[in-house]
Amino acid sequence: MIQIYNTLTREKEVFQPIEEGKVRMYVCGPTVYNYIHIGNARSSMAFDTIRRYLEYRGYEVNYVSNFTDVDDKIIRAAKELGITAPEVADRFIHAFEEDTNVLNVKPATLHPRVMDHMPDILTFIQALIDKGYAYESQGDVYYRTRKFKGYGKLSHQSIDELEVGASQRTGVEKELKEDPLDFALWKGAKEGEISWDSPWGAGRPGWHIECSVMATKHLGDTIDIHGGGQDLEFPHHENEIAQSEAKTGQTFANYWMHNGFVTIGEDDEKMSKSLGNFVTVHELVKEVDPQVLRFFMATTQYRRPIRYSETTMKEAGVNLQKLKNAFENLSFRKSNAVVALDEDTQKLHELVELETRFTTEMDDDFNAANGITVVYEMAKWLNQYSEQEAVSALVIEKALEQFTQWLSIFGIFFLSEELLDDDIDQLIEERNQARANRDFARSDEIRDLLKDKGITLEDTAQGTRWRRSE
């Protein structure tokens, strides 16, 4: 039984989805104004690992992760680059897709964009105004924070503590608010900035309202899991709760999950663009095997900080190579495996025991660090078995299937010299998803990979067929 550490309660809780066998999961995506650094990418990889494990455990996961394509940073980038804000967003959404694809992050079930949801945003804000939770002020619309009785329950802060910080703020916006704690749902247009018409005048949405709208529109008023980086806990996720629950009268998310930071340097300083201490995925994968980066990031428990350095990356590379060697050793022995051995039952039982240990560790709040320890033990088991004088085809097939499944949870894929039918089907499924997302670069990459392995694809009206080349 899976247990999740819920930020809301600060406790591990048994996971009980709203609908049996299905998971509604929303993860805050990037603001697309630049290339993502590895701190940004950690959230994508951490929740991709969680999603993959849920699917491994038999759940159907409806995974929604947004693109914030309307923002002050995007507007500034547009001015600097001499292009429009939508063009900036399109450019860096494409860059995000390229970077996450090379890290084996599965595309979300849906990647909604703010610009496509303006009517929904306006309707949502108007509902909050009608209920007395929001008010218009000279073209802006603000949320009445004090009116929501549960404000602060996620970040575990009292309204008095929050008031002290808010009272120090100055500027024009403070003069427009009824209370310093109130936050913007709609911002009146400024000259030269992108804007949309609204009942309160031209403008654009505030940051927090976007996720409330897209999460409830695509997943329902109550969702199972809401995830994101630790830095989003307050105020972003706190404000999402206030807005959503005020509008719907329902619990917004049953489980709140937050991944830890990536730190850098001797002082373990948080990696961020504002501090200028970041390393982009776009540049790093030119020098480092993307699988090593994914392995480095995905095998730490998601709530724990990760210290990035050349040393830790090299260690990850060495460990990944050990797993690859074990995979290749057993794959090589397939050619001289026998149909059956007297010891098959015992060996298959040992595999079941390893699988039980793996799921026990991963069921404990997706503890990837402990889970990968079992994978290392599996690699040792594979090496010992492959060194035997006679090996069983049945045991090899089961062992490779189990080992491959486990590695895929962490976004790691090793391919045999001769691809298995399941490997081919999985790659074709990924190619179909890439084509559906109009990611033709990834689609072509998979087609070429299969071609190099002697697999010919035929796209037909009934779907994609494949055959091995003669």
Q: Give the residue numbers of the binding site for ATP.
A: 273
Burial 43-61 (b: 16+ CB within 10 A, else e): bbbbbbbbbbbbbeeebeb
CB atoms within 10 A of CB 440: 10
CA distance 288 to 463: 36
What DSSP character marks residue 114? G
* Whether the Cβ atoms of residue 27 and residue 65 lie closer than 8 Å to each other: yes
Residues in the chain: 470
Region for residue 131 given its phi and psi (left: phi exceeds 0; alpha: psi -120 to 50; beta: otherwise): alpha
- Extract the annotated binding site: 28, 211, 236, 240, 273
- Extract the annotated binding site for Zn(2+): 28, 211, 236, 240
Element housing 372 (H / E): helix 368-386
Q: What's the maximum distance between 2 C-alpha atoms anywhere in the chain?
A: 82
Q: Please identify which residue in the block is written with the tokens 């079992």.
A: 374
CB atoms within 10 A of CB 251: 13
Residue 37 tokens, joined: 């650094």
Element housing 147 (H / E): none
- Give every CB contact of residue 1 below 8 A, 6+ residues apart in sequence: 14, 15, 363
Nearest to 59 by CA among 11, 106, 16: 16
* Whether the Cβ atoms of residue 47 and residue 61 lie closer than 8 Å to each other: no
CA distance 298 to 303: 11
CA distance 138 to 200: 8
